[in-house]
Chains A and B, each alone.
Chain A
């Protein structure tokens, strides 16, 4: 099977999805597409089903939080075409209060736990996920710890008031931080 060039893939994708793909970037050895969240699943399904490209291996799926961006909640997925040894990275953004993306579990069964992990840490809901619940953290946790506003220090600790070094308790107290927001 002939190895498709990256241009071929980009052309095929822009032909199929048109303005759904906002931009293509290149960072080190990866081509990155920023896409509309409406076509998130369709794009992976297209690449999966396309006989020429065969992107059938989901490498990673994770969230990223950019607190200062207009669209702070980002979802990153990487697919790999094992036949051609090509890798692509896709990003999609959201600024909703209750972040929701479509679930990739219909295309890749491996997305199941990856999405649960993303939900656990970022609070993104995945529409169509069979069993979306926390996976690594305790079930009754009421926050999403990988979001940037949550400090590393535990809010239950009151012994860390080192104002001498320019750090007040309010700098790491989650409650105060949330009120500030």
Chain B
């Protein structure tokens, strides 16, 4: 908590400690070779790449719609945001217009994903400080969100939700009912979770001033998302470069002041409340819309025709075949599209040469960029605080390594 040693002294014996690659406390595959003076970290050397899966290279060899499952596997705590971010990138390249109903449906799902992402991060901060109970309470609701995904697309973790241009099918009645149930019952549970931790003396002692970073350093390291906002910079892609229909929504961007673990926890906590308000607004807007049926844009070369037509109609069969084989040409161009992922600015830099696959696709993964500051943030702190710092930064191995 109190930084004591700044510089490594030459003639002193330090302990070298391998934290990771597989350590239960790091919640993922991270290796840090720590130089320790007693319990204080003097220096650290992070190694990453243990689950690198060459997504950028693979993406150059896959039709556009087959890139979506790759994006799932980056930040797997909020895969719908990654999926939809990618879909929006391609739609931007195609200059496609989406019906407002699709945009609102997307926003509902993306905000649910944000809530489930923050649930994981915040409850795990609780676990790392020794409070297992809160984690079990809110994980029921993360499970419930996964059930909603399951009802929409059939998958839970690696969702591959939606298509380029919208959704594969309309939400069923069950989905809408479940979303209503979530909005009705989750706030009470979240409140209970907050009561458990927010003003808890032990929790506060453990997290306040633990792993702090100043706004200047955070910006220098290109932080984004809740970690940057906890340091006091109100940068949120949803407000700065509104995508989808976020322009029409009214919500607050919470910011912290210290940039420490407690602030990161609080920012995420408030963002969950804001996300719920966004979902309520979206449902309200959906109710007011005259259009009650459309669930995809008019993009026949990306949107698979209904199965019964494929069996009975030649035109539909041809389209089905062409789409599945990836035989859809796209315009030439260079697009950068970013969305506010669970961890910050998730960007897709796509170069298309007019072919059927991306010529180059670069993922701006917020984790990868801000994890490099970890070394600086844990220098001089206790080992137990370093663990907390990592979990409060929400470093997801899948996103880190692509």
Contact = CB atoms under 8 A, between A and B. Distances in A.
Contacts of B360: 64-65
A27 to B, nearest CB: 4
Contacts of A117: 368
Interface string B318-336: 0000000000000001111
A146 B241 contact: no
A138 B347 CA distance: 26
B233 A82 contact: yes
A103 interface: no
Contacts of B235: 82
Residue from the set A60, A62, A82 with the largest chain B CB neighbour count within 10 Å: A60
B220 interface: yes
Q: How large, as a class, is the contact surface on chain B?
A: 35 or more
Interface string A121-165: 100000000000011111000000110000010000000000000
Contacts of B233: 82
B349 A137 contact: no
Interface string A47-74: 0000000001111101011000000000
Nearest to B360: A64
Contacts of B49: 134-138
A19 interface: no
B219 A57 contact: yes
A78 interface: yes
Contact of B54 (A87, A109, A145): A145
B354 to A, nearest CB: 14
Contacts of A114: 369
B345 A113 contact: no
Interface residues of A, number: 34
Interface in B362-388: 362, 364, 368-369, 371-373
A27 B372 contact: no
Given A82-B235, A135-B49, A62 B362 contact: yes
B153 interface: no
Residue from the set B56, B222, B333, B373 with the largest chain A CB neighbour count within 10 Å: B222
A113 B220 CA distance: 13
Contacts of A121: 56
Contact of B48 (A87, A108, A112, A136): A136
B381 to A, nearest CB: 19
A27 B362 contact: no
A136 B53 CA distance: 9
A101 B52 CA distance: 25
B240 interface: yes
A108 B220 CA distance: 6
B61 A78 contact: no
A32 B364 contact: no
Contact of A113 (B54, B349, B372): B372
A174 interface: no
A146 B333 contact: no
B57 interface: yes
B168 interface: no
A27 B335 contact: yes
A37 interface: no
Contacts of B349: 60, 62, 76, 78
B74 to A, nearest CB: 13
Nearest to B345: A59
A78 B336 contact: yes
Contacts of A33: none
B150 interface: no
Nearest to A32: B334
A67 B360 CA distance: 12
A22 interface: no
Contact of B52 (A87, A108, A136): A136
Contacts of A113: 368-369, 371-372
A110 B369 contact: yes
Contacts of B364: 59-60
B402 interface: yes
A30 interface: yes
B401 interface: yes
Residue from the set B92, B345, B351, B360 with the largest chain A CB neighbour count within 10 Å: B360
Nearest to A30: B336
Contacts of B369: 110, 113-114
A136 B48 CA distance: 6
Contact of A110 (B93, B221, B347): B221
A30 B348 CA distance: 13
A110 B372 contact: yes
9 contacts: A89-B336, A110-B221, A113-B368, A114-B369, A121-B56, A136-B49, A136-B52, A138-B49, A145-B57
Interface of B: 48-49, 52, 54, 56-58, 61, 92-93, 217, 219-222, 233, 235, 240-241, 333-336, 338, 345, 347, 349, 351, 360, 362, 364, 368-369, 371-373, 401-402
Given A110-B222, A136-B48, 5 more contacts: A28-B335, A28-B336, A58-B222, A65-B360, A82-B233
Interface of A: 27-28, 30, 32, 56-60, 62, 64-65, 76, 78, 82, 85, 87, 89, 108-110, 112-114, 117, 121, 134-138, 145-146, 152
Q: 9 closest Cβ contacts across the A-B interface?
A: A110-B222, A136-B49, A136-B52, A62-B362, A27-B334, A113-B372, A60-B364, A109-B220, A110-B221
